Amino acid sequence: MSEQEGCPVKNWATDYDVLDEEYVRDPVPLWKELRESCPIAHTTRWGGSWLPTKYKDLQAMVRMVPELSSRAPNVMPPSPELRAELIAEAKQYGSESPPITADPPEQIAYRRMILPFFNPREVEKFRPSSEQLCHDLIDRFIANGSADAATDYAQQIPPRVIAAMLGIDPARGDDFTEWTRGVLELGQTQPELRTKYRKIIREFFAELVVERRRNPGDDMISKLIASEIEGQPLSDYTVIGMCNLLLVAGIDTTWSSIGSALWHFASHGDDRRRLAGDASLFGTAIEEMLRFYSPVTMARKVTEPVTMGDAQFIPGDKVLLNFPAANHDPEIFDRADEVVIDREKNRHIAFGVGIHRCAGSNLARMEMDVALRVWFERIPEFELSDPDSVTWVGGQVRGPRSVPVSFAV
C-alpha cells in the first residue's frame, strides 16, 4: 500500500479510490456525480486506472479488442514478485486462466470449450440438490430467530454447487470460500495472500488433474483433460488455470448477489412484502437485484493508444470495466437509481457484455432463484437486526460480507 492509499479522496474525477469506505458502502451517488462531470475518471491509486461510468462507453470498450486486452483482468495489481512470475509463465505456457485472461483468437476456442458446461439443461440438473442445500442451511438456524444472511446462507451456496459440478468434494466448501476470498478480496490489499492462495488453488487442481487422468469421470475436470484444440490436448498448466477460473469465478460473485438481495429485502420492507406476496415477481426482482447491486468490475490492459472523449489511454494503462456504474446510467434506465422489482425493460450488463460475457450466468441465475425462493418460502418476514454491523467489500467484486437478520419463529 502506498502513502496515497488510505488517504481521503479530495477529487473523485482525478483521484478516485475503488476501496474507499464510502464508495464501497454506496457508490451510486459518486457514479452519478462522475457521469455528469467526468464520465471517464482517472486515478493514480492502486497502480493507476481509468473508470468509465456511462453504459455506452462500456459497450464501446468491450468491443475494443485487442486495444484493450484481457491478459490482466484483475482490478488490483499483483505484487512485483507475482507479476514477474505471471510474465514468465505467460511466455512459457500462454494464457493463465483462459478464456478470461485471453484475447481472440485464442480466447474463442477456450470459451467454446466451457460454454456447454453451463447451458440451461446442464445447470437445471443441479437445481434439486441446490434446493436441498438451501433448506439444510436454513434448518441450521431457523429455530434461533436470527442468522447472518451473508455468512450463514449466501456464502455457503455457490462453493458447494460449483464443487458438485467440478466433481470435487462439496464438504470442502469453506476451504474454497477461503481460497477465493484470499485471491479476490483480501489479496487486493494484501498481495502476499493473493500469491499464497493462488498457489494453494493451483496445487489442489494439479493433484486432481493427475488423479482424473488416471480415473476419468463425467465431471468438468475430466472433460477439460479430454479436450483438444486443433488436434492438440490442453497442457496441465492450462487445465489447472481453467479449473482455477471455474472454481473462483462463481463463488464470491454469486454469494455477493444473493447477499445483496437479502440485504435489500431485509432493509426495504415494502419490496420484501411485495415479493413475499407475489411469487410471479421473482424473475424481474432477481434481474433488478443484478442490475442495482451488480457485483463485478473487470479490468483491461491498454495495448494501443485509444482516445475516448477527454480520456486518452496509452499502452500499459489499466481501464476498469465498471459494469455496475453502467447499470445505473439514466440514459438507458428509467428511475436508474431506484430499485423497481417489477422492472420490465432491464438490459443490464451485470454479467458483462461482448466476447467475455459471463459463461456462468445461467448457473448464477439458477442459484439466485433457488436461494431467494427457498429463503422466502421459509422466512417470508425478516429484517436487519443491527444495521450498523452490516459490512461491505468492494474492488473486483462488491457485496455484503455480514448481514445480521432477525425473524419470527
- Residue (19 or 359) nearer to ligand HEM, CB: 359
Cβ at position 300, least distance to ligand HEM in Å: 7
For ligand HEM, give the closer residue by CB, 137 or 359: 359
Q: Can you tell me whether residue 271 is helix, strand or coil?
A: helix
End-to-end CA distance of the chain: 46
Task: Give residues 181-220 in contact with ligand HEM (rule: CB under 6 A).
Answer: none
Please, which of residues 366-405 interact with ligand HEM by CB under 6 A?
A: none
**Binding ligand HEM by CB under 6 A: which of 43, 49, 70, 238?**
70
Shortest separation between residue 257's beta carbon and ligand HEM, angstroms: 4
- Build a one-symbol-per-residue string for 230-249: x at contacts with ligand HEM by CB under 6 A, - elsewhere: ---------------xx--x
Phi-psi region of 335 (alpha: psi -120 to 50; beta: other; left: phi over 0): left
Q: Is 222 in the site for ligand HEM (CB under 6 A)?
A: no
Q: Which is nearer to ligand HEM, 114 or 319 (CB)?
A: 114
Q: Mapping DSSP to helix (H, G, I), strand (E, B) and coil, where does residue 106 land?
A: helix
Q: Which of residues 91-130 bind ligand HEM (CB under 6 A)?
A: 99-100, 111, 114
Q: Which of 285, 254, 290 is nearest to 268 (CA)?
A: 285
Q: Is the dihedral of CA 56, 58, 59, 63 positive or negative?
A: positive
Query: Scanning residues 321 to 340, which ones bind ligand HEM (CB under 6 A)?
Result: 321, 323
Candidates 38-46, 174-182, 265-273, 359-367; binding stretch for ligand HEM (CB under 6 A): 359-367
Asked if 54 contacts 326 with a C-beta cutoff of 8 angstroms, the reply is: yes
Could you give the CA distance from residue 63 to residue 104 in angstroms, rounded to a whole number? 12
**Part of the chain binding ligand HEM (CB under 6 A), chosen from 8-16, 44-52, 260-268, 356-364:** 356-364
Query: Does residue 166 touch ligand HEM according to CB under 6 A?
Result: no
Helices 157-166 and 251-267, axial angle in degrees (round to 10): 150
* 358 binds ligand HEM per the rule CB under 6 A: yes
Candidates 155, 177, 195, 254; binder of ligand HEM (CB under 6 A) is 254
% helix / strand / coil in the chain, to the nearest 5?
Answer: 55, 10, 35
- The closest alpha carbon to 180, from 396, 33, 404, 346, belongs to 396
Instruction: Report the DSSP beta bridge partners of residue 68.
Output: 302
Return the DSSP state at 406: E
* Closest residue by Cα to residue 70 from 82, 61, 78: 61
Q: Kindly state the smallest distance separating residue 144's Cβ from ligand HEM, in Å.
A: 28
- Site size with ligand HEM, rule: CB under 6 A: 28
What residues line the site for ligand HEM (CB under 6 A)? 70, 73, 99-100, 111, 114, 162, 245-246, 249-250, 253-254, 257, 295-296, 298, 321, 323, 350-352, 356, 358-360, 363-364
